[in-house]
Amino acid sequence: MKIDLDALKLEQLSILLAVVEQGSFAAVAQKRNISASSISRTIQGLEKQLGFPLFERSTRHLQLTEAGAIYCESILPGIEMIRTAQAKALDSQNTVQGTLKVTLPPGFGEVKVVPLLKKFRELHPQLKLELLITGECLDFNKDRIDVAVRVGGQISSEFTVVPLTTVKLFLCASPEFLAQYPVETLEDVQNVPALHFLDYDTWFFRNLYEEGAERIELPVQRTIYASNVSAVGKMCIEGMGIALVPNWLVNEELRSGKLVRLLPDYEIGVNEFSYKVSLIYQGRGYLPMKTRVFAEFMERELSELNYFQALD
């Protein structure tokens, strides 16, 4: 059967690859704000043009046929070339435009990155932003991610990494809590209610001023665990326990006296004493201007934050 290449539209092929990536018609329809039946008709029309079925369908399962898998694998480089060509053409206009899809970690992303976006948008008003705030490490290809901000963790060598800053953890409590539960020594830490946002029951301590100091491991109480670091910070301010929280979250509260930093002569952590904050993007191929200017902006704005500076 002769395939009419002129009749094949990029949008059809884009929808096909989106269905493969998302695993369902419904997921693609929701992202594109159209009906699942419309997606289904597009795939059926494409199958009719090609002359072979792309998917094996059932009520619970959607899987590529052997021919469909070969076809998708073969067209993907061409689609990527077209997308790159479009990005280069847009960049040639010397105007940052299009849509930038960014993933941000909860907590740091909301508190430190989101407030910068107004300034970024003022610099590039024609660029649209799509933010995904999640603790998951999303698949750049499947979820069409342009750039991600990550706190800690291992980063694959396939990515280009832009260091932004480093985060330390501070042990804190409210003055009201300390009036009832004084914490002046390492031993005191084990005997008072503790709040957690990282899933560890053991904290590590190392004296900053003792040469060659060894790491001291201490089990602590697990009074309350919350997966959200901002919630832990608020509970700490309310006097519900001591908390090991990132310094970017509590610097203002420490300055105002709402919180007190405990055992400042020690660096304290769980699996690490500090965490690198990085911006990452896929390192291969052409880097669109929208990604480049966002990376440069974040590097400039966040690298100016000195989290190790002594509190006033």
The closest of 97, 240, 244, 117 to 168, measured between CA atoms, is 244
What amino acid occupies position 245? Answer: V
Residue predicted with more confidence, 262 or 289: 262
- Interval 28-35 mean pLDDT: 81
Q: What is the pTM of this model?
A: 0.68
Q: What is the pLDDT of residue 49?
A: 85
Per DSSP, 224 falls in state E
65 vs 81: CA distance, rounded Å: 25
Q: Which domains does the chain have, with CATH numbers?
A: 5-92 (1.10.10.10), 98-311 (3.40.190.290)
92 vs 294: CA distance, rounded Å: 17
The closest of 146, 184, 154, 195 to 266, measured between CA atoms, is 184
pLDDT digits (tens, 9 = 90+) for 204-227: 999 999 888 899 999 999 999 998
Mean pLDDT computed over every residue of the chain: 85
Q: Give the three-class secondary structure for 267.
A: strand
Confidence of residue 89 (pLDDT cuts 50, 70, 90): low
- pLDDT at residue 305 above 70? no
Percent of the chain exceeding pLDDT 90 equals 44
**Residues forming beta bridges with residue 100, ordered by sequence position:** 129
Q: What is the pLDDT of residue 234?
A: 96
Q: Which two tokens stand for residue 55?
A: 């998917």
Q: Give the three-class secondary structure for 128.
A: strand
Per DSSP, 210 falls in state S
pLDDT digits (tens, 9 = 90+) for 117-149: 999 999 999 999 999 998 888 888 777 889 999
Q: Which range has the worst mean pLDDT, 161-165, 216-220, 285-289?
A: 285-289
- pLDDT at residue 293 above 70? yes
Q: What is the pLDDT of residue 178?
A: 97
Confidence of residue 311 (pLDDT cuts 50, 70, 90): very low
Q: Do 311 and 256 meet the contact criterion of CB atoms below 8 Å apart? A: no
Residue predicted with more confidence, 252 or 68: 252
The residue assigned the tokens 């934050």 is: 305
- Interval 232-237 mean pLDDT: 96
- pLDDT at residue 113 above 90? yes
- Interval 8-24 mean pLDDT: 78
Q: Which two tokens stand for residue 200?
A: 């560890």
